[in-house]
A and B are shown apart, each in its own frame.
Chain A
Amino acid sequence: MTLWDLTQGTTATVRAFAANMAASHRTRLSDLGFYPGESITCVMAPSLGAPKLYRVNNTVYSLDDSTASMIEID
């Protein structure tokens, strides 16, 4: 299951990054709080496949499917 599968209002814990994710992208996501062990809440899943909004602590980020689907969750 990946972060993109998370439905609006649900929370999950980051397990790992996909093996084929670029190292630079992992670094950036980790710097923003998307690191293994952190809990992430999907606060909004707009229609028509638009990027979803995820809350990490007190900050909200928008991730598109290509990025969110590279983050594996429990």
Chain B
Amino acid sequence: MQTDSFNVALIGSPNSGKSRLFNRLTGLNQKVANFPGVTVGISSGSSLIDSATHYLDFPGIYSMQAISGEEKLAVDGFYNALQADHLNAVICLVDATRLEKGLIFALQVLEACHRYKKPLLIAANMCDVLEQNTIQFDAQSLATALSVEVLPISGKTGLGLNELSAALATATVPTTPFTVSDNIIASDDSLTHRQAKLLANEYGPKGDLLIRAQTKLDAFFLHSLGGGISFLGIMYLLFQSIFTWAAPAMDAVETVIKLLANAVIPLVPAGMASDFVADALFGGIGAFLVFVPQIFVLTLVVGILEDSGYLARAAVICHKPLRLFGLTGKSFVPMLSSVACAIPGIYAARTVDSPRKRWLTYLAIPLMPCSARLPVYTLLIAVFIPTQKALGGLVGWQGLVMFGIYVFGIICALLVTAVVSRSSAQLHADLPFVLEMPPYRLPSWRPLLRNAWNRSQHFVTRAGKIIFIVTMVIWVLGYFPNQGVSLANSWLGAIGQWIEPIFSPFGLDWKYGVAILTSFLAREVFVGTLGTLFGIEDANENFASLTQQIQDSGLPLGSGLALLVFFSIALQCVSTLAVLAKETESWRLPAQLFVSYSLLAYAAALLTYHLVGFLV
């Protein structure tokens, strides 16, 4: 809160359009979404209309009676602001198209403002929708009934925002709540929701034109046939967006980094400095910048789904099957996104409003078969699985094993959440599955693009630092003490040989230990490291040579399959851990997941090795 500004708290229930209004008022890059629980933390910004006015955007809450830890933080934050001398006014936002719901909350805010002697304005949002449909709303009479100014506005079109800004200076502290002179209120009991209903019926928009239009679209999008087909189509597009649409941008990032490296490296003295710039600096930057296009594209596509109102319908469709595994319908999009990459999946989990379900979704995400596992799977399958066809020539064995290991990852994710959800009932607050079905609307592109940009920036500036530092450490360990001449004789090689007893129970020597260590940077690094240790230049390009070398080394089938199983479970990804730490604001969960999934992966790999040995 700025002591020299006119400070205004902006509060409202989820889906009242608060973030969009805040964007409009301040021009700041706030997320706008048609899905509950998007605003995280309290944002602030100066008004574009009057720079002396400073807005504080509180998270959307349904009630001043919090029922989860996150809600309590938001409610406590609001009460603290009300007690601060520097808070000059409060704007409570309600959705004019669904007035009763907004008024239940507004009456609670009115009572709080009365108690702490803070001036209050009620902004009735989405009045552009009412105007378009020639639906009347008697804001003046409602204001009289409440003894608080009520202003019709639109965060989308800017309708009434100048008036709202001007009215702040003359906003008044509400008089004793619930004793307004109107007979409608006096005749009813003291329950807030009954008063809200009476007020909405008397002064609010009449008719159900909007809700009938919404129900018609729901009849299609939730129909067992039409809904199923549209769901599959939309999710296919989402999946494609991460895999295909982001690919050219990812290639472009790699190319730009390569070009920059080629331009800079000749300017650096040869030797250690040159190796450092080439491998650690550009390699380290490239390691996390390559994720940015995926994060941008997925955030944009998920934003479109949220803003259009479809994401809430997708959650309804997926809820029942996912609930069997302790998850919620809202877990589906983060989990699907994680099949491409866990990082955008973790960001997408913000849409899961129940803290408990979000926590369970975080447990599932690292086990989903992400694309970084693909090169490892491809190499191991090429080494161990014959190219012959199965099922009368219909499918190849290699394809079947690839499909099997993908399904194995998904089953592991669901089994883990099923077991954990049943054995940790008291951990993290849960919320009932009551999902507001927001109206369908066309997405607003500018805030969505801004949000995708912000999310990408957040990744680079926050998680990127950690990824970069770990990359440096691995580089130093692999480069010294022999100045990068031989990875085998480096400190990393020594560590690999030292930890050989850990992996020898499933038939792996120190080379695989080193490759597993380096793959902590990114799983696909496993292939390149093995290539280096087997003396093959650019193993990703010379896949066949590496395959042949591993086959010639006599690695048993059980060891290969054990490695497959190990990689499908182990959380071998510093980027995932860093993003998870930033999203949960603690290293506790990433550390727990890293240790438990490493142990689980090890046990499953050992079991696989012995099972194969027993069967073959």
Whether B100 and A59, one on each chain, are in contact in the complex, defined by CB atoms closer than 8 angstroms, is yes
Number of A-B contacts (CB under 8 A): 127
- Among B205, B214, B433, max chain A CB count under 10 A is at B433
Interface size class of B (residues with CB under 8 A): 35 or more
Chain A residue numbers with a CB within 8 Å of B320 are: 48-51, 64
Is there an interface contact between A67 and B100, defined as CB atoms closer than 8 Å? no
Whether B211 contacts A30 by the Cβ 8 Å rule is no
A48 to B319, CA, bound (A): 11
A43–B65 CA distance with the chains assembled, in angstroms: 28
| B224 in contact (CB, < 8 A) | yes
Q: Are A31 and B224 in contact (CB under 8 A)?
A: no
A10 interface residue, CB < 8 Å from B?
Answer: no
Decide: A31 and B100 in contact? CB cutoff 8 A. Answer: no
Segment 317-340 of B: residues with Cβ below 8 Å from A = 317, 319-320, 323, 329
Contact (Cβ within 8 A) B222 A58: no
**Shortest distance from the beta carbon of B597 to any chain A beta carbon, whole Å:** 30
Decide if B449 is an interface residue (CB 8 Å cutoff): no
Q: Are the CB atoms of B211 and A32 closer together than 8 Å?
A: no
Q: Which residue of B lies closest to A49 (CB)?
A: B320
Query: What's the Cα separation between A62 and B434 when bound, in Å?
Result: 6
Minimum CB–CB distance from A36 to chain B (whole Å) comes to 10
Contact B65 A31 (CB under 8 A): yes
Checking A27, A53, A64 against B67 with a beta-carbon cut-off of 8 angstroms, the contacting residue is: A27
> In the complex the two chains form, is A48's CB within 8 Å of B222's CB?
no
- Bound CA span A24–B66, Å: 8
B219 lies within 8 A of chain A by Cβ: yes
A24 to chain B, nearest CB (A): 4
Other-chain residue from B99, B317, B429, B433 in contact with A58 (beta carbon distance below 8 A):
B99
The yes or no answer to B538 lying at the interface (CB within 8 A) is no
Q: Are A57 and B435 in contact (CB under 8 A)?
A: no
Q: Which residues on the A side are within 8 Å of B211 (C-beta)? A: 55, 58, 60
Q: Which residues of A contact B124 (CB under 8 A)?
A: none
Q: Judge whether A44 and B65 touch: CB under 8 Å.
A: no
Given contacts A44-B215, A46-B316, A60-B214, is CB(A53)–CB(B432) below 8 Å? no
The B-contacting residues of A in range 2-53, CB under 8 angstroms, are 24-25, 27-35, 37-38, 43-44, 46-51, 53
Q: B431 — which chain A residues lie within 8 A by C-beta?
A: 25, 28
Contact of A63 with B434 in the complex, beta carbons under 8 Å: yes
* Interface pairs (23), CB distance under 8 Å: A24-B67, A29-B432, A30-B193, A31-B63, A31-B105, A32-B101, A32-B434, A38-B197, A44-B222, A46-B224, A48-B224, A49-B320, A57-B200, A59-B101, A60-B211, A60-B214, A60-B437, A62-B315, A62-B437, A64-B319, A64-B320, A66-B433, A67-B434
